[in-house]
Amino acid sequence: MLDPIPPPVLEEYLLEAGIIDRSQLSLAKKLQHRQQGPLLMILLELSFIDLEQLRRLLDLGRTYDHAPNAG
């Protein structure tokens, strides 16, 4: 799966880090529901994040996967 971090945690991180705003998140989630795709890919398709941000978010997800209380 491409969204390595649980959706609520990912969404909170994206907002708090200022990567996207609430209106962008809302639009992306609507499209995600229709397309049944990973949120990160939807954000990339909408150009709300770029490839470098995607890479960093995936790296963050790998770190999250190895955290003691992850998942």
| 14 inside domain | yes
Which residues, including other chains, have CB under 8 Å from residue 32's CB and lie 6 or more apart? 38, 39, 42
| 52 inside domain | yes
Distance CA 23, CA 26 (A): 5
Range of the structural domain that residue 15 is part of: 7-65
| 70 inside domain | no
- Say what the pLDDT of residue 66 is: 58
Q: What is the pLDDT of residues 35-51, one digit of tens each?
A: 999 999 999 999 999 99
- Say what the pLDDT of residue 7 is: 87
Distance CA 40, CA 32 (A): 9
| 27 inside domain | yes
